[in-house]
Chains A and B, each alone.
Chain A
Amino acid sequence: MNRAQRGAAGSRGLGTMEVKSKFGAEFRRFSLERSKPGKFEEFYGLLQHVHKIPNVDVLVGYTDIHGDLLPINNDDNYHKAVSTANPLLRIFIQRKEDADYSAFGTDTMTRKKNVLSNVLRPDNHKKKPHIVISMPQDFRPVSSIIDVDILPETHRRVRLYKYGTDKPLGFYIRDGSSVRVTPHGLEKVPGIFISRLVPGGLAQSTGLLAVNDEVLEVNGIEVSGKSLDQVTDMMIANSRNLIITVRPANQRNNVVRNSRTSGSSGHSTESSLPSSTPNLLGSVLQAEEESDEEDIIIEDSGEPQHIPKAAPTSESIESLSQIELLHESTQNGFLPSSEVNLNHSAGSINMEYEVPEPGPKSLEEDGTIITL
């Protein structure tokens, strides 16, 4: 099969579909009938066959259109993988014994430094495996509560991952007033509140936001003093990765934590946000900058590609590694302090890479997907 033919087949998107499978350092290419993908068992067998690993237990994953690494372990997600593959289906195979479950999920491909180094070179990365509770049931997080350790108990910082889901964010905000404690006593100040949740929307489905919750921050920027329209614009501008800090209207379901033993963050019961949060969150924000924005370029009417970053400055890498840390930890429910050493290596990895959706002209197609 020469390159031109493959390109044509890929862009036509009918009939057969190209599959590129990777196990360890080896690639296999083959094609599948798009209309009749068959069952997962058969596919699993086929993979074992083409990689000549008939008796090895493996985990199968694929990258979806957003660049996330998602598992294939039943007929449903197998069919989903086949139907969404465009133009080719990228498969990653790991041995079950050294599988890294944290590799799966949102932003996995952009966190490639550690994720992919784990996937590709499992043997040279001798870290302790995570405590595996079960296979991820939900393939991609849709929301999370973050920064629990640094926020006052009355506040909640919620991250909504619009990225990768078709669900609308699905909420409305309004103006209102809240009561603050000031040196002059109680004072009524204007505030922004959640006014409505759309049934079936992302916000409602998370259960983390409710009507009449007061919005305090949007992606680390305080909203006090800003108009409803400004806050609306800020939320929409951040809609692909929205982090909102709220004071829930219902304070009974707050996370009860022992702030004395958690160590890293002591100040928690003040009514205003601790001064350290903007910095920490600022780094989160920068992380989002790197991951949430992927503009698409179409060259000469070819295939759409993500626009790569030009060589980043050293500081952004630093901040990136720090965010990784936060991000990772919150995802797995750990406090960052326990994992600090885990990602130290990340800072030294060059960020430049080709996005793993090569158009027909990409010269790197047959090589590794990371350009170091």
Chain B
Amino acid sequence: MASGVAAWLPFARAAAIGWMPVANMPMPIAPTEKNKRADELIVLNVSGRRFETWRNTLDRYPDTLLGSSEKEFFYNEETKEYFFDRDADVFRAVLNFYRTGKLHYPRSECITSYDEELSFFGIIPEIIGDCCYEEYKDRRRENQERLMDDDEDKKDAKLPNMTFRETMWRAFENPHTSTMALVFYYVTGFFIAISVLTNVVETVPCGATPNTKEVTCGDRYTVAFFCMDTACVLIFTVEYLMRLFAAPSRYRFMRSVMSIIDVVAILPYYIGLVMTDNEDVSGAFVTLRVFRVFRIFKFSRHSQGLRILGYTLKSCASELGFLLFSLTMAIIIFATVMFYAEKGSTSSKFTSIPASFWYTIVTMTTLGYGDMVPKTIAGKIFGSICSLSGVLVIALPVPVIVSNFSRIYHQNQRADKRRAQKMQKARLARIRISKTGSSNAFLHSKRNGLFSEALELTQLPYKMNLSDQSSIEEEQHLSKNQSLLESQHHHLLHCLEKTTNHEFADELCYEQSYLEGALQSYPSQSPSLSSQEGMTGTCCTRHTKRNHAPLPNSSILTCALSHTHPHHNLQELSTIHIQPLNTSRSSLNMRVDEPARLNCQSGTITTAIISIPTPPATTPESDAHPPPPGPALQNVVKVSAL
């Protein structure tokens, strides 16, 4: 039952009078409050700050510390109040949860202290309201990342027996782990810088003798530059080969971006070595030297920022594509217009539409070189329109890219988001479970038989609580396990059952009776019922913790939870924790008697065992067995107290 509406339970019970004329059977007795005390104020003293609330308010959530008898441990006889030596500020949020039914996360609190307080008072954080849940999760993640960073530092301690190969790989990936790695890191960085510098200086004209042409340094000191180049390429090659050797998965390494950059950086040199001084290919050879500039990208191993930039560009691909597309459109339009506008003028530079492209691009990006200018009036008009619209078209996608970059930089990457989505599903599942735990609680209390024994006394007049001792004992026994609120709610549900002459069942019995109805393999109902009685009793005493039930057939699950829940949530639920089913007959039969041993007395245990075999079973023998627990043995072991 949603404890937030506990105050409306009297109303719901009163409204049940509407069912009475329709019912054909007598109603069960109402549970009575043995010592009906007027609602009293209780004082909660938290570190000196006194909070007062009605007792009923706290009773709304009987599975928390304040709502159960656990708070009696904190009762102070002299001052007649409950004393908690905890943080009073966080307690405000806790107490408001009882009052309003919504748990909020106060942003000024530290996330770990908040978590501790929640676990002290027995409240699961998943029920934090949607208004505060995002913030809570973000802070939680930050905290965990911080912890993980600390852990990573600790983790870098060398594992005892790492192979030489693994050591090398670790040295390459984390330069700060050992001195050798650090030396290697700096040496390669130095040589990358040297190589880039060499490429640049090579083209600088240096020192011409008076009567000859200017020569570039590269041509002047050819040998020196060649030696430099060779040295760099040697170093890079050695580095590449070492990385290739140390990589745990060579194929994956070879496909990675960094290795491609490495290869592209050193390949031109080798190609140049191989090729002779052939006239035809020297042109191509020169082109190849351009690729040497890619060595600068090798710096991205050394710089985190470069990597983030690269990642941003990659992820903004769609926005960049849009920018490009809209620019292209605009360029084509304006180039065409300008071409036709300038067609008339003499000695116009706008010789063709592609030639006008250059003008359009230069104008739209507000560069305005001035090498091509319109001369006709129409051309000038359209030229000005072109430059104005250029500003707009470029300004539009840029903020999107900028915001993308900041989003990526500050927030989680895609993998983390996927993890968060899974958490969200798990959280919703947990909330749903705790909510539907109520319906299970009702079935559970029924099957326990305590309730049905009280039913035997329906013959007596209802106002008999004073006269009949045994029923009082029953109710006392009952209320030992349930709060009054729960028992009243269960009585209400029981009245509904009597009205409609049907009983609530969990999805197991539903499935069973569904199968029975479908197969119709019984001559009469009674023998099957009697043979199944014991089984039914056991099958329904078992709670099914939904997220453990490895049901392959989601249609079965649809009736399990209240069918006001959308179907697809259940699908997700089952996919989170599905275990592969092994439906071998022998193992199914083996586990039949196991659940009977489960302790069904405590109202809070949930166990997970059920698996329903896919029904090809048409023989009566197989139907006689209740859907036995699946041999997903790992699940069986987990018994958790909610």
Q: Do A and B come from one complex?
A: no
